[in-house]
Each structure stands twice: as C-alpha cells, then as structure tokens.
Amino acid sequence: MTSPYARITELNTHIGQVVRVRGWVTHLRSSGKVAFVVMRDGSGTLQCVLVKVSLPAETWEQYGGLSHETTIEVAGEVRSDKRAPGGVELAVTSLTITGPSPADYPIQPKEHGIDFLLDRRHLWLRSGRQRAIARVRHEIEQAIRDFFHKRDFTLVDTPILTAAIGERSGLFSTEYFDEGTAYLAQTGQLYGEAAAAALGRIYCFGPTFRAEKSKTRRHLSEFWMVEPEVAFNDSDDNMRLQEEFVSYIVQRCLERRRDELIELERDLSKLETVVAPFPRIDYSDAVRLLERKGSGVKWGDDLGAEDETLLVEGHDRPVFVFNYPKEAKAFYMKENPDDPRTVLCNDCLAPEGFGEIIGGSQREDDHDRLLRRIEEEKLPIDAYGWYLDLRKYGTFVHSGFGLGLERTVAWICGLPHVREAIAFPRMMHRLRP
C-alpha cells in the first residue's frame, strides 16, 4: 500500500505518519553521511533528511542527481522539529526524481541585474521573495472582494474595449471589426456610474491600461484597479469609505500574511498604525505647507511625487488631500459649491513616501454643468451621450474612487518599484515574457 500524498503546509497534522510529498529542490547540503534536501511545493518549505546507513544504496545515490529546481517525490515519516520551517522535517525512506533540472538554471543565489531577472520572470517567480509578494497580493485582492461583498456591493465587470472613455491621452487602440477603433479602458468608472444607478453600491476590479511613455518606479502600462461607486455618497462619505477600506486591507495582511511580510523584511510597526480615520488636508493648505517646506509648487498645479512625500512626513498613516483645482483634475468631478475654482475630490497618499494609492471624487451630477465641462475639454459629445443620460433620467449624488493595486501591493510589501508587485509586469520596454 502506498502512503498518501500531503502538501507541506499540512504536514504538522501528519506527525508520526508516513507520507509522500512532491515539489522542487531549493537547497542541498550533505556531510557524506547525512544529506539535507530542502524542497518547496508551493504551499511551504520542507527539510528532508537522508541518512546514508538507513537507506537503500540506490536511494542515497539519487541525492547526487539533484540540483536547484529538480522535481522530486519523497516518502518518509513526518517528525516534529521545532527548529525547522513549519515545525516538521521528513525522515526520507525513498526519493524519486520526476523532473530533472540541468545545472544551468539561470537564477542562482547571487545578485542578478533587474533586466536579467525580468527576462526570466517565469522562473524568478519561484524565488522565496517573489512567492511572498504573490501571496500578499492575493490576500489584498481577496480582502478587497470580501470587503465589498460583506457590504452588499455588487461586482460589475466594466468593459476593456471601449469606443471612447475617460482621460484621452495615452490610449492603446485596436481595430474592432467594422466598428472602427476601440480603445483599452483606462478606467471603468463611467460604466460604474451607470451601474450604481441600477444597483446602488457597485465596484469594478480589473486591468486598466496606460500607453504613457513613463519610466518611473510607480507606473506600469497594464495594472489592476478597483473602483467602487456609491449612489448617494458625497465626497465626505467617500473619504470615510476609503479610510475604512484601506485600513481593512492592511490589517488583514498583518493578520493573515505576517510570515510573508516578515520574509520581505517589512517593518510591521509601520503598518500597524494604519487605522482610520486618516488625516485630511485641504489642497490650498497643502500648497501652503509645501511652500513652507521649500517645494516649488504653485496653487493650481497637480502635486508631484516629491510633494506627496513631503506631505506625508510625520504621519503614521495615509493622508487625504482634498478639493484640488478644477484644472488639475478630470472633467467628471463635481464643482465645489463653496469654491468653484475647485472640485470635490481627494487623493489618498500612502505613508513612507509610497505616494498616491487612491484618487476619488464626487461626480458632477448636474446635466448642464457636465455638458459644459465635456465641451470645454473638447471631448467627443456623441460618445458621452449615454453618460449624460445618467444626469437626465433621475440624476443622483454619487461618489467613487480608484485604488491602484500594484501601488498598494508595493506599499504593503515595502517594494521600491511596482514592477515586482505583479506576476508579469508590462512597461514601456517590457512586453515579455
């Protein structure tokens, strides 16, 4: 009778039992009499112990055929070992090589250049650090889904292929049958607004695209964005939802992905303080503060990355900057009745200089004002007819925001560049693998 297969993460429930484990070799060490094979199976890491005198000669000889990334199947007894990762080790009685790995495996335990690694992203993903990032990213995404599901939001998948939408520059385009040019969506928001009139509270969460020739550490040409839209929320409600949302995500990662964050050498104390409410700074106050700090920013400008870093100095949690000048922001934002030079909007800036992770706003719900803004921006009116309809038939106060997933992953994991925050990053000079 053969022993059952077990995943490494489950082995602590099999102590004293004989099991079989499948996975890949990550480290090898041998004294000539005792050999240690560290393997991973995607669920965890396991130390396997081979003792020469207790093994058939052919099993011991298998050890010589192992290298980094060899796929193996081992059988043996699970033993408790406080010092081992996961608290167990395997006393091996049989070892089979099921997938050899030649000695030229390109990613070695030494420093590699970033382009070398990104060219081999399909293999680089196997490294401990990249696996930890992937698991934190997964947790953040599931936390996002759960947050909205529990609050009775309906997920609405907005289209990627669109006839005309949102911001106009930096669009990828494709021929769409006989319908002319289609553009890859930069946001699902406008569609989300239509859905909010049907379903009240909605969110979309999918890939978005920017064909911008930017090479900063915070830009990808393809990135994921989550965009809730809520009927009857004003700008203030919108910021409350954002701080509750961001706090939930961070606290859940601390609760469920502590091991991964420790592996990433993240300073957990910088995350533990991320609890609502977040400080709020009016844009005009922010400009005054920045002037005092020596920034060259002038009232009317959008804020740059360096300004954002200056603004979060001394704060232990994200900071809202709200009510920017109209010129600095998108056409669909609602004019501020108390200061018509500005719009009812906010950015949410992550602490530690990780920069903007959210942009949000109350939407212009007045048909004629919105029409005027579309004309001022010289947007194609006929493409926005359906969007104007939302203000014609039962207009409603509503607000929403977009949180950039990779920037959030980079912040929570403490990554200097967003390119590691997604499995296969797409940037100006990178379309492969």
With contact defined as beta carbons under 8 Å apart, do 346 and 239 qualify?
yes
| Beta carbon nearer to its own copies, 260 or 347 | 260
Name which of residues 271 to 290 contact its own copies (CB under 8 A). none
| Beta carbon nearer to its own copies, 196 or 412 | 196
- Residue 122 sits in the site that holds its own copies (CB under 8 A): yes
Q: How many CB atoms lie within 10 A of CB 31?
A: 8
Tokens for 170, please give them.
Answer: 């930096």
Q: Which of 28, 194, 276, 371 binds its own copies (CB under 8 A)?
A: 194
Calpha distance 88→46 (Å, rounded): 7
Q: Which of 60, 147, 209, 401 binds its own copies (CB under 8 A)?
A: 209
3-state helix, strand, coil in the chain (%, to 5): 35, 25, 40
- Residue 248 sits in the site that holds its own copies (CB under 8 A): no
With contact defined as beta carbons under 8 Å apart, do 358 and 246 qualify?
yes
Q: How many CB atoms lie within 10 A of CB 97?
A: 15
Calpha distance 63→126 (Å, rounded): 22
Judged by CB under 8 A, which stretch of 27-35, 151-159, 288-296, 313-321 contacts its own copies? 151-159
| Beta carbon nearer to its own copies, 199 or 305 | 199
| Beta carbon nearer to its own copies, 210 or 373 | 210
- Residue 142 sits in the site that holds its own copies (CB under 8 A): yes
- Residue 109 sits in the site that holds its own copies (CB under 8 A): no
| Beta carbon nearer to its own copies, 196 or 250 | 196
Applying CB under 8 A, the site for its own copies has a residue count of: 97
The helix or strand, by DSSP H or E, that contains position 76, with its residue range, turns out to be strand 71-80
Judged by CB under 8 A, which stretch of 96-104, 239-247, 280-288, 340-348 contacts its own copies? 96-104
Calpha distance 72→25 (Å, rounded): 7
Q: Which of 213, 292, 298, 378 binds its own copies (CB under 8 A)?
A: 213
Q: Tell me the backbone φ, ψ of residue 322, rounded to 5 degrees.
A: -125, 160
Residue whose structure tokens are 């232990």: 316
Name which of residues 396 to 425 contact its own copies (CB under 8 A). 396-397, 422-424
Judged by CB under 8 A, which stretch of 124-132, 296-304, 351-359, 373-381 contacts its own copies? 124-132
Calpha distance 105→108 (Å, rounded): 7
Q: Least separation, in Å, of the C-beta of 314 and its own copies? A: 35
- Report the amino acid identity of residue 52: K
Q: What is the DSSP letter of 302?
A: P
Q: Which of 174, 294, 298, 416 binds its own copies (CB under 8 A)?
A: 174
Q: Which of 105, 129, 168, 371 binds its own copies (CB under 8 A)?
A: 105
